[in-house]
Chain A
Amino acid sequence: MSITNTQGWKVFAEGLWKNNPIFIMVLGICSSLAVTTFVKNAFVMYLGVAFATVFTSTIVAAIRKRIPATYRMLVFMMITSTLVIVFDRLLKLTLPAVSKEMGPYVGLIITNCIVMGRSEAFAMSNTPWLSALDGLGTSTGYGLVLLAIAVLREVLGMGTLLGFPVMPEAYARCGLLISAPGAFLCLTVLLFLANAIRDSMSGGKK
């Protein structure tokens, strides 16, 4: 049996495309679009979100039978914010410069709807192992979109990639892409492409 046939892989792969949090559910973009001006920051954001989602989902799934339904949001939030604090401290310790650049946005991972969304939609009714995979798949699907936006914005807006110049000297930098409107416009382009691809794929079946 190849790895792509296991249930775990399916759960993982679901989040990458079929249930991609950004393309399908338009979730979790709030706290993250702002850090997509640089690929490096976007990657750190992805790490943070993945860390928070995977462990929140795992913990929630492990204690799901003990979480009272009425207070589950509060419980999710306590778990997530503890994890985010851990990530924030780790980041400050290892990459203080990046931590400073990200400003309040790392703390804002708590309010990233993906984390809570996965706890509510998946982890509350599945085993810890599957929930961890689900969290990893969803956050990776999210991270890929984030990185795509960051690459667009950094290359076209600053002429660099990961801080190294990649565009010819004469390239006129598109400052708009670095500013806030650029984030919206890049996201639009990606959403449009994803929709178009999805339509043509399902159009073939009809």
Chain B
Amino acid sequence: MSADLFSIFIIAIFIENFVLNQILGICPFVGVSNRVDSAVGMGLAVTFVMVLAGVVTWSIQNLFLAPFHLEYLQTLSFILVIASLVQFVEMVIRKTVPSLYQALGVYLPLITTNCAVLGVALLNVRKGYGLVESAVNSLGGGLGFFFALLLMAGIRERLEVAEVPVAMRGAPITFITAGLLAIAFYGFAGLA
């Protein structure tokens, strides 16, 4: 049992990395990865929301939607839960770490539209995970997102001083970097 959980965790972080393997959550990945410190804040916020969302959506799915055969309301109810969770996290961060709140700016409310968060909730249901497995998978997914974001931010800080051809500046160079990172992450597939 614990070995299973461990492998779910590792697979979620490295092998099925949300950003680099499933291509989810690209908007914040590109938007917030230009500085390492905001990347850390965003990564933590997303991980936190993801775990909460994983647990709450699992409960909704199995305690409410499935028994009453309301599965078609899945996406609607999940997104509402995620939106409220994000609102909650936003309030907490604004009260406790105002500087981080400033740094994250518009990207904080946008966690709601981070497809990785909704994605992890939908995938948990699709894979038929139990409560603990869902939580572990969400935690792994969140940390994987955090990890990818951090790597990207580190590389982009270096890129700022590099000479990039004009037409490659901005988004193109970012995606090349993401592509190369994704290739590197393919090496982890051997872990499975």
Cα-based distance from A32 to B102 in the complex (angstroms): 30
Interface flag for B109 (CB, 8 Å): yes
Contacts of B167 in A (CB 8 A): 192, 195-196, 199
Interface flag for B26 (CB, 8 Å): yes
Q: Mark B126-146, 1 if CB is under 8 A from A, else 0.
A: 100000000000000000000
| Cβ B171 vs Cβ A26 within 8 A | yes
| Cβ A192 vs Cβ B182 within 8 A | no
Interface flag for A167 (CB, 8 Å): no
Cα-based distance from A188 to B167 in the complex (angstroms): 11
Interface flag for A44 (CB, 8 Å): no
Contacts of A161 in B (CB 8 A): none
Contacts of A111 in B (CB 8 A): 79, 112-115, 117-118
Contacts of A196 in B (CB 8 A): 167
Interface flag for A113 (CB, 8 Å): yes
Contacts of A74 in B (CB 8 A): 80, 83
| Cβ B80 vs Cβ A77 within 8 A | yes
Contacts of B155 in A (CB 8 A): none
Q: Mark B151-168, 1 if CB is under 8 A from A, else 0.
A: 000000000000000111
Cα-based distance from A191 to B166 in the complex (angstroms): 12
> Quick check: which of A7-15, A126-134, A136-144, A178-186 contacts chain B, the rest being far away?
A178-186
In B2-37, the 8 Å CB interface with A consists of 20-27, 30
> Which of B24, B112, B172 has the most C-beta atoms of chain A within 10 angstroms of its own C-beta?
B172
Contacts of B20 in A (CB 8 A): 180-181
Cα-based distance from A110 to B80 in the complex (angstroms): 11
Closest to A195 in B: B167
| Cβ A31 vs Cβ B115 within 8 A | yes
Give the size of the chain B interface in residues (CB under 8 angstroms): 45
Nearest CB of A to B42, in Å: 15
| Cβ A185 vs Cβ B76 within 8 A | no
| Cβ B112 vs Cβ A187 within 8 A | no
Q: Which of A's residues lie within 8 Å of B, judged by CB? A: 26-31, 33-34, 73-74, 77-78, 81-82, 84-85, 88-89, 103-104, 107-108, 110-113, 116, 176, 179-185, 187-188, 191-192, 195-196, 199
What would 8 more interface pairs be, CB under 8 Å, given A26-B27, A176-B183?
A30-B115, A104-B119, A104-B122, A111-B114, A184-B175, A184-B179, A188-B175, A191-B171
7 A-B pairs with least C-beta separation? A184-B179, A181-B182, A104-B122, A111-B115, A195-B167, A196-B167, A188-B175
Chain A to chain B contacts (Cβ below 8 Å), 13 pairs: A30-B24, A30-B25, A30-B27, A34-B23, A107-B75, A111-B79, A111-B113, A111-B114, A180-B21, A185-B176, A192-B172, A195-B166, A199-B167
